[in-house]
Amino acid sequence: MSNPHSAGRHRLSAISIGLLLVAGIPTPAHADAHMSIQSYTGHPVNDARFTADNDPDRTSAQFEVTGTLRSQDGATLGLNRVAVSLDPGPKMLVASLTQEDAATGLTLASTQTDKDGRFTLTIPALKDIDSYVDDDGLVSLLFVGIDDSGLNLMYRQQTRLPSQPGTPARAKFADDAVLPPVETKDPALTDVRGQATESVLTGLNLTASLSKSGKTSRLRGMDPMQECTRAWNGAPILKYRWDREGGAMRKWVTVQHAQTRKKSTMKYEWSNTKETAVQTVVEITAKGSGATGGYAKSTVTGAGLNFNVPNSWRGNLDAEFDFYHWGLWCNMSGDLTAWRAADVHEIRPYQFKGFSQIDVPGVTYKCNRSAFRGSLGNEMWVSRANTVTTSLSVWGGLDGNGIGGKVQFDSKQVNTGAHKATYTPTAAGAKICGQDKNPAATEKVMEIDG
């Protein structure tokens, strides 16, 4: 595996101590004299994997990511710096079990927000990045804050990089608060029934938290490079990596919700674990705080399940996963052998265990519009691109006392043609309803009385 930051020490060292770098990228046309939107983008002189759109060997084309940086109360954060990295992919995480430097990040670009918190990150064309790409052709982009005034930001986005110049990157498992789904008829962004499956990386709403009175408040995220700089007492950092730690933790992950009454049954076919993602959870031991860090798929994928829901049942359909802690390690610039633990640990989904359950939660779908109700005279199946987002229970940290006090996190299931929910009438007069749309247009379907 190539060195993720060969010849890039000066670039990363500057980023790690919070400097804004400019590489001759022109200011966007919408900027005015009061705005400061300047973007540093990787160049082949820094790393051989940075290339240009006219390179026939490129893996992806150059593209832009736009968005707004806000505080937790919704206020825009002007004149703050944001960076994006190529986070280690599943192959790299697995390889890290036997290769010390396998799961290393690659910083792609940084920028400063304008006075209204808006930013544009220019991502270069890339090549020789196969180890960062998963089996579905997705990479993990990690957005972090690199400001040295107490801004804390971390958001991980599963992304399909564009292969053709002028086309956008596409987001999968996006957080609805960060990147709402878009209405589109583009075949590349829709499923077999014409429903949007992926958004594009424009108009992100990234939320950061700020330190108060010298004490870090409860974080929404963290910056690996800042934590590395802290671990090395301010020394310039060359790169970071993730190492797996400890034993597996087993956790139920909800992939669908089911509701039947006395006249119908339901079957849910969950055939591809690649369509499930879970928010990662970060524990910053050195600061006594915790955070969620965006959605991640399991590192190792496996077989699926068929859930059979009987009459008169309401519950979540759960699959059991192994989760592991991954520790953040930091390499000091100028010494390739100098690695130090940052006392930062992230919980990530590792693999589907093969076990399942139907549990009974305290929530239920409701159907209040008569227009979405009707007779279920025959078997009906629903396969939607809509996602099912459910909250997982609070988890204990490495010491069993909780992560930053307590952190709750979510799972997200993308429904595709391979994930069918089939409702079957078992008695005359069965009625079916969609919570927010017609049953054929939503995954939130239930049997109702009357």
pLDDT of residue 379: 93
pLDDT of residue 190: 54
- Averaged in consecutive runs of 10 residues, what is the pLDDT profile of the chain (450 residues)? 33 28 33 51 87 96 94 85 89 87 87 92 96 92 71 82 92 80 57 59 81 40 74 82 87 87 93 81 68 81 89 90 88 80 86 88 78 93 74 51 53 79 94 88 83
pLDDT of residue 34: 40
pLDDT of residue 22: 29
pLDDT of residue 221: 56
Of 215, 249, 225, nearest to 404 (Cα)?
215
Alpha-carbon distances of 328 from 180, 339, 407, rounded to whole Å: 30, 10, 19
pLDDT of residue 225: 73
CB 411 within 8 A of CB 254: yes
pLDDT of residue 437: 85
Q: Alpha-carbon distance 150 to 219, whole Å?
A: 11
For the chain, what is the HEC assignment? Answer: CCCCCCCCHHHHHHHHCCCCCCCCCCCCCCCCCCCCCCEEECCCCCCCCEECCCCCCCCECCEEEEEEEEECCCCECCCCEEEEEEECCHHHHHHCCCCCCCCECEEEEEEECCCCCEEEEEECEECCCHHHCCCCCCEEEEEEECCCCCEECEEEEEEECCCCCCCCCEEECCCCCCCCCCCCCCHHHECCCCCECCEECCCEEEEEEECECCECCCCCCCCHHHHHHHHCCCCCEEEEEEEEEEEEEEEEEEEEEEECCCCEEEEEEECCHHHEEEEEEEEECCCCEEEEEEEEECCECCCCEEEEECCCCEEEEEEEEEEEEEEEEEEECCCCCCEEEEEEEEEEEEEEEEEEEEECCCCCCCCCCHHHEEECCCCEEECCCCEEEEEECCCCCCCCCCCCCCCCEEEEEECCCCCCEEEEECCCCCEEEECCCCHHHCCCEEEECC
Of 82, 367, 361, nearest to 208 (Cα)?
82
pLDDT of residue 162: 94
Q: Alpha-carbon distance 249 to 281, whole Å?
A: 13
pLDDT of residue 196: 53
pLDDT of residue 33: 36
